[in-house]
Amino acid sequence: MKRAITPTTVERVMREDDFIVSKTNPKGIITYGNPIFVEFSGYTEDELIGTQHNIIRHPDMPRSAFKLVWDTIATGKEFFAYVKNMSKDGGFYWVFAHITPDVDPSGRIIGYSSVRRCPKRSAIDTISAVYAQMLAAEKAAGAREAIAAGTAVLTNLLNDKEMSYEELVFAI
């Protein structure tokens, strides 16, 4: 269950050697979180396990960014992204996420694993500006058209740069 939390301007910065690890079932319900995940999220392990992973979703993250994640990983592909997460106390922390589908021997997706590490500050500066444009487009379009509007902003940016999302992520 997503809790009503007021975001603050307090940033938690990952240490260079930190790795946040979590696992979910196919519907995004947390089944595992390592101690670093528990630390940065501000929740207890008991509060995290069995809860939707979006419990740590920061409102500065556009919905269209998460649609891109889910559309990609649902096809069995891995995904890399810079993500701004929100802690239980309203603070935030940026991560460079690598999300991979977990598959059974028959190839069926049985969950997802995510390993997040400390992002480069220059990448955060770049991607936060992109996310702000996407979020503004989502808000201007209204709930029904929000995801399409945010996606259009990202698609136009990628077309202008003649690169894929993954190429952009690795370029910054």
Pick the closest to residue 24 from 73, 68, 77 (CA basis): 73
pLDDT digits over 19-51, tens only?
Answer: 999 999 999 999 999 999 999 999 999 999 999
The ranges of the chain with pLDDT < 70 are 1-3
Give pTM, 2 decimals: 0.93
Give me 18's structure tokens. 């930190």
In the chain, the domains with their CATH numbers are 19-171 (3.30.450.20)
φ and ψ at residue 84, rounded to 5 degrees: -100, 120
pLDDT of residue 4: 83
